[in-house]
Amino acid sequence: MRVPPPHVGMPLKGGRADLREIDRWDGGLGWIAYPDERMQRASHALDTDDGVWVIDPVDAPGIDDLLADLGEVTGVALCLDRHKRDAATVARRHDVPVAIPEWMDGVASKLDAPVERFGHELGDSGYRVRRVRDASLPPWQEAALYGPDDTLLVAEAVGTASFFRAGDERLGVHPMLRPIPPRDALGDLTPERVLVGHGEGVFDDATAALRDALGGARRRLPAAYAKMVREMVLG
């Protein structure tokens, strides 16, 4: 009897909220609010000298208790133009603004919360900003954050959810970016860990995983697209 893949029957996004902590390290933590969804939307809180920065949050019961373990929230930040998620809700609850890269268009007007802009650094957090993509075709504006503890946070360009990965990849380039992987933006970094907006982070040999993802993106493109089609049909 053929056993269906584990993602079959899972909703693409949403479902039953059941907060699951992921990616905890000395500098913060992550969570997945809806662990049964196929997109595996991940959110993170960075514990910095500037306070706690919440990145691309998906809200769920219990998140405020999780954040309280780190300290006071100083701001919420968006690193992808289409990752509005629950940023405004979380920001209003903590009475802080939503921070957006200064070059990111078309997002501020869609947020029901005060907005501020950041440039080369996220506040005074020590996290430097990398412009991963700023294009109109396809529409895609994305920033990555690289911290003083060699933590790399990438919202969308790479991920660990199933639809990102091909073959034995631990980290994969987004299917739409495989023909043009973001090597210029990310290829010179040597992270201790890679946090992603879809799936759990990579903590073991993270630099090797990143280089493999970027270096093999085009070569493994046929396998990635075939897998994506199979999952769409079976899902």
Selection from 20, 15, 17 nearest residue 31 by Cα: 20
Span 195-207, average pLDDT = 98
Q: Which residue reads 């000298």 in tokens?
A: 49
Q: Per-residue confidence at 12, pLDDT binned at 50, 70, 90?
A: low
Per-residue pLDDT at 106:
85
**CA dihedral of residues 90, 55, 130, 13 (deg, nearest 10):** -100
Least confident span in 3-12, 152-161, 166-175, 202-211: 3-12
User: Which residues are CB-contacts of 177 (< 8 A; sequence separation ≥ 6)?
Assistant: 133, 157, 217
May I ask the CATH architecture of the domain 20-234?
4-Layer Sandwich (3.60)
Q: In angstroms, rounded to a whole number, what is the distance separating the alpha carbons of residues 13 and 10? A: 9
Per-residue pLDDT at 56:
98
Query: In terms of pLDDT, which residue wins out, 231 or 166?
Result: 166
Least confident span in 3-7, 58-62, 113-117, 132-136: 3-7
Q: How far is CA 47 from CA 16, 75, 97, 204, in A?
A: 28, 11, 17, 21
Q: Per-residue confidence at 17, pLDDT binned at 50, 70, 90?
A: confident
The tens digit of pLDDT for each residue in 69-80 reads: 999 999 999 999
pTM: 0.92
Domains of the chain by residue range: 20-234
Per-residue pLDDT at 229:
77
pLDDT above 50 for 227 = yes
pLDDT above 70 for 112 = yes
Per-residue pLDDT at 14:
61
